[in-house]
Amino acid sequence: MFNAKITGTGSYLPKKIVTNKDFESILDTSDEWIYARTGIKQRHVIADHESTSSMAEIAANNALQAAGVDASEIDLIIVGTSSPDRVFPSTACILQHKLGAKGGAAFDVQAACSGFIYALGIANQFIKAGGAKKALVIGAEANSRILDYSDRNTCVIFGDGAGAVVLEASEELGVLSTHMHSDGQYQDLLYVNNPIKDQKQEGDQAFMTMHGNDVYKVAVKTLSRIVDETLEANNMLKSDVDWLIPHQANIRIISSVAKKLSMPMEKVVLTIENQGNTSAASVPLALDQAVRDGRVKKGEIVLMEAFGGGFVWGSALVKM
C-alpha cells in the first residue's frame, strides 16, 4: 500500500485588494471593529474576467511546477469549493480542460470552509487504495460572488483565492491521517440560499447568511476536540507537531486552537490579516505561503484543520 505525499504546493490571489477602510464608506463599520473582532485588515477580490476555475488553474500550475509533474500525468482532480463556476459541470472538470489534462477522475467537494481538508482526505484514500497515482487537490473560492455587500455581518469577513497541492503515491510517509465530521443540525447558522429552488422573483441571487456569534462558539469547541482526536489517532504528543495551519476564519478562534496545542503563535501560519477568510482556499493558501517562504520544511509535521457551514469540520496530519 502506498502513502500519499504532498510533492508540490501552489496558490493564487487576485490583484484587487479591498481594505477595511474601503468598507467604511459603504457600510456602518470601521477598520477598528473589523480588525479587533476578526484579525482581518484586507482581502483579495476577483476581477470580472476571473472565475473560481481560473484561480484554481494558476494555483494548480504553480503546484505542478513545484512538484515537477506534468498536467497529463494527473489522474485525479478534486476541487473543494462552495462558489463553483457553474452548478454543473464541476469546477474540477472545467479545470481539467484548462490544464490540458484528460481522462482522469475530476469532481468537486462541497464542504464549505472544510472543502480542502475533505478533498485531501478523499484523495488520500484514493491513493492508498491504488485508485490514483498523482492527484491535484485544490481549494478555490470566489466568495465575493456570493456575498451581499450591504450585509456587514458577512461581507467584511470573506475573500477570494485558490490554493493547490500535488499529492503523489509514495513509499515515504506523507498524509498520516485525515478526520472528517459533520452535523447538519446547524445548517441555518451559516448557509447560502439556492437561487434555483428559493427563487421568489426574477433576479434573486445566492447570498451567504451567517450568525457569526453562534458559529464562533461551536467552532471553538469543535476544533479543540479535533486536535485531541488527530493526535490520539497517531499516538503523538502536542510537542510532535511542528506547524499548525488552520482555516483562517477568525484570529480569536485560531489562537484558542493554538492554546489547546500549547503552541506559540510563531508556529501558527497566519494569512488572515491580508487575505480574510477564503473558505476552502485558506488552508492550501497558507500552506503554500509557508512552504515558499521556507518556514515549513521537508520532514516536518503539519496539522491542518478547518470548520465551516453544515457544520462540517476536519483535520489532516501530514509529514511534509
The residues annotated with a catalytic role in the active site are 113, 247, 277
Q: How far is the CB of 159 from ligand COA (least distance, A)?
A: 12
Task: Identify the residue among 308, 310, 314, 315 touching ligand COA (CB under 6 A).
Answer: 308
Nearer to ligand COA, 166 or 219 (CB): 219
Q: Contact between 153 and ligand COA (CB under 6 A)?
A: yes
Q: Contact between 312 and ligand COA (CB under 6 A)?
A: no
Taking alpha carbons only, the member of 11, 106, 103 closest to residue 64 is 11
Cα distance between residue 95 and residue 78, in whole Å = 10
Q: What element of type H or E holds 53?
A: helix 52-67
Q: Contact between 18 and ligand COA (CB under 6 A)?
A: no
Q: Contact between 37 and ligand COA (CB under 6 A)?
A: yes
Cα distance between residue 157 and residue 231, in whole Å = 30
Window of 59-67, 175-183, 213-221, 224-232 that interacts with ligand COA by CB under 6 A: 213-221
Nearer to ligand COA, 34 or 99 (CB): 34
Q: Contact between 212 and ligand COA (CB under 6 A)?
A: yes
Cα distance between residue 170 and residue 67, in whole Å = 13
Neighbours of 179 (CB within 10 A): 16
Q: Dig out the grid coordinates for 154 from the structure.
A: 458577512
Cα separation of the two ends of the chain? 19
Q: How far is the CB of 175 from ligand COA (least distance, A)?
A: 22
Q: Contact between 250 and ligand COA (CB under 6 A)?
A: yes
Residues 6+ apart with CB under 8 A from 317: 175, 176, 177, 178, 230, 231, 233, 234, 236, 241, 301, 302, 303, 304
Q: Dig out the grid coordinates for 125 from the structure.
A: 484514500
Q: How far is the CB of 216 from ligand COA (least distance, A)?
A: 4
Q: How far is the CB of 161 from ligand COA (least distance, A)?
A: 15
**Binding to ligand COA, residues 111-130 (CB under 6 A):** 113
Binding residues (CB under 6 A) for ligand COA: these are 29, 33-34, 37-38, 113, 152-153, 156-157, 210, 212-213, 215-216, 219, 249-250, 253, 277, 307-308
